[in-house]
Amino acid sequence: MRNTEIDMTPQVHPYPETTMFGAIRDSAKRTPGAVAYDFLDKKTSYSEFIEKIEAAAKGFVNIGIGKDDVVTICMPNTPQAVICLYALNRIGAVANMIHPLSAKKNITFYLNYANSKIILTLDSFYTKVRSAADEADNSVKVIVARIQEELPAVKAAAYTVFKAREFLKYPDREGDITWASLVKNGKEAVLPEERYDPYKTSVILYSGGTSGEPKGICLSDRNFNTLGMQIAEIAGCNLNEKCKFLSVMPIFHGFGLGIGIHTVLENSARCILIPQFTKESYAKTVLKKKPNFIAGVPTLYEALLGVDVFEGADLSFLIGVFSGGDSLSPELKKRADRFFKEHNAQIQIREGYGLTECVTASCVTPVDRAKEGSIGLPLRDMRYKIVEPGTFNELNAGEDGEIILTGPTLMLGYLDREEENEKTLRTDKDGIKWLFTGDMGYMDEEGFVYFRQRIKRMIVSSGYNVYPSQIEKVLDKHPDISCSCAIGVKDPYKMKRVRAYIVLNAGIEPDDEEKAKILAYCREYLDHHSVPKEIVFKKELPKTLVGKVAYHVLEEEAEKEIQNAV
């Protein structure tokens, strides 16, 4: 059964010509009493949300932050992080979004790279962030937020006593302040006139940094507002104040900020903010809060399918379930779809594809149709082409090539990376700017797009192109295998040979007999040049900070192994 309170009529929206803050203010005008966000059971209405944003904006004005100044937000999904984002947007400043679990030296890099004047973080991260700020090129003030300030009274008291008492002494460096004092001291400040510029940087997000130095991706109000309308159109219902979205993807990630937060708030829906993910607590939150939409990376769904708390649960309240950020294997999709059906959710998991260079998703599986292996159809006003890599020579349907795309969510460019901009953003003979994704794929006759592999990750073995993702899809279907990662290892004859790292299911012995069994299986389902020449069993695979398999870590380990053997 579907939730009868939700209007299932699709709705098409024009793109709002306003700031990100302006889009949220419009939501507040439509639905002032609706819940904007729910944080650990404390609910804040849209009218209260706007008041909090403007109070924080005044606080920033009071300490000298203005148009184009950069403030770094080093936070999990908490109200202060969301309020800060829109407060900065209200005064024309730039939000530099980074992961709070980043290493100290990386935080210093982000501060220097963006020329950030201030950094907001939680008290529990303060000592690391303070140390990173001390090593920055310029003076950087730290603003300290406390989770308990946004909790219901009883929870706040318990949290302070049992988890946060030791952090009350922070900040302890001259010039650093608390979030509460920032807001309190700005009451008399005057907010500047609000200005919308579709070509101004409002948010800096970062490429995954899976190889090389991270690049700052400059995104505009127009990018985010457009995405919000595009996603609302394909949500599967009229996204409005009656809809609840479980916002677990982090605010410093395009998927989390673009869809889990801004799209939700732009359309007057409710964000259920999740500051930290564990599969047990997440599963309990799903059952308690009954969200209509959930979104996450494939590893999130892999974790949830094995949680006992869902035994016999009714998930009929779910309207949309989205997967992105990494490839969703056909096997995992089948298991997830079966899981939802068995729990009364008459939906399919919908895969999306995109890059932070266009905020996040720009291609999504339609609500009523899926093709195995396809990442769906481009969103409204997004155009895709498959071309010979590095050129504008378009290929025929079914032919593998590089995915390029264009549309209104296309980034302004990389921050201070002109050479990268010239490689990635190219203008065709008609004056249209295209993003060269560096991803291989193809398109069928109906326009459905299929992702193959990152071009850089493609393995060339004995002259053949080998796609690790295709190997992994086959391996992950094996009943003994929990997850896998295929990489290319240097080989004196083949250029590169295929090595597969495999995590086995509980109870399966990682011995030579199991290796032989898996290789025999691979020879049955893979071309000869794609069959792994080596299998390495591991207890777990390394992950990036946003939950993707960090294949580059395995590549670096293999490279060092070869160097040490010489």
Contact 112, 84 (CB under 8 A): no
Contact 244, 291 (CB under 8 A): yes
Q: What is the mean pLDDT of each run of 10 residues along the chain (566 residues)?
A: 49 78 98 98 97 98 97 98 98 96 90 97 96 96 97 92 91 96 97 95 80 83 96 91 95 94 98 91 94 90 85 94 83 90 93 93 91 92 95 95 95 95 94 93 95 76 73 91 90 79 93 94 83 93 78 86 73
C-alpha dihedral sign at 301, 302, 308, 312: positive
Output the pLDDT for position 563: 76
Output the pLDDT for position 473: 86
Contact 98, 112 (CB under 8 A): no
Output the pLDDT for position 24: 98
Output the pLDDT for position 7: 60
Output the pLDDT for position 559: 83
Output the pLDDT for position 1: 30
Output the pLDDT for position 247: 95
Which is nearest to 258 in space by CA: 228, 235, 222? 228
List the domains of the chain with CATH numbers.
Answer: 20-276 (3.40.50.980), 320-454 (2.30.38.10), 460-565 (3.30.300.30)
SS3 for 138?
A: coil
Q: What are the phi and psi torsion angles at 47 (to 5°)?
A: -65, -40
Contact 20, 223 (CB under 8 A): no
What distance in Å separates the CA atoms of residue 450 and residue 328, rounded to the nearest whole number? Answer: 12
